[in-house]
Amino acid sequence: MKLKSLAALVIGSLLLSSCFSHHYSIGKGVRVEKTREVTEKNHFMGFGVIPVKRCHIDQMVGDTLNYEIYTRSTPQDMIVSTLTIGIYTPTTTTVTIPDEIYKRNTNRKVKRKESN
């Protein structure tokens, strides 16, 4: 009985060992109230060692200078990873950027119509 309990504990800890989250603030971070979140999935094989498809942060943020990145393994990601015994391991990346209305934290140039 002790051997089965120990085996279950070891297997359970190995399957849930990839629980993580990373937060990054680029530039000054997001310092406005109105923000927009862009979320994409990363796809890995072999317990997260071999990248298959990774999200492109530069495409997600455009030319925004100040933004935040939050990469994590959501409960859904952990369930999929557990069901595939770690062969396929997805993660989720969310980028928070200022809303289009607030141009203070962006490097975007606004084209204005000149009235004649």
pLDDT in tens, 20-75: 788 999 988 888 778 888 999 999 998 888 999 999 998 888 888 889 999 999 88
Per the domain annotation, does 6 fall within a domain?
Answer: yes
Distances (CA, A) of 86 to 9, 45, 57, 82: 17, 7, 25, 6
Residue 43: the pLDDT is 95
pLDDT grade for 116, boundaries at 50, 70 and 90: very low
Domain interval for residue 63: 2-98
The reply to whether 22 falls in a domain is yes
Residue 52 lies in a domain: yes
pLDDT exceeds 50 at position 102: no
Is residue 22 helix, strand or coil?
strand
Average of pLDDT values for 85-94?
A: 92
With bands split at pLDDT 50, 70 and 90, how would you rate the model's confidence at 87?
Answer: very high
> Is residue 112 in some structural domain?
no
Q: Are 16 and 82 in contact (CB under 8 A)?
A: yes
Q: Is 101 helix (H, G, I), strand (E, B) or coil?
A: coil
Degrees (nearest 5) of the Cα angle 53, 97, 52? 5
Q: What is the pLDDT of residue 96?
A: 92
Smallest CA-to-CA distance from 48 within 95, 92, 96, 94 is with 92
Q: How many domains does the chain have?
A: 1
Question: Is 116 inside a domain boundary?
Answer: no
Q: What is the pLDDT of residue 100?
A: 63
Name the token pair of 10.
Answer: 């070891």
pLDDT, tens digit, for every residue of 1-17?
Answer: 788 888 887 776 666 65
The answer to whether 95 and 67 are in contact (CB under 8 A) is: yes
The verdict on pTM exceeding 0.85 is: no
Would you state the pLDDT for residue 115? Answer: 45
Beta strands of 10-113 (E only): which ranges?
21-26, 35-45, 50-53, 67-72, 88-98
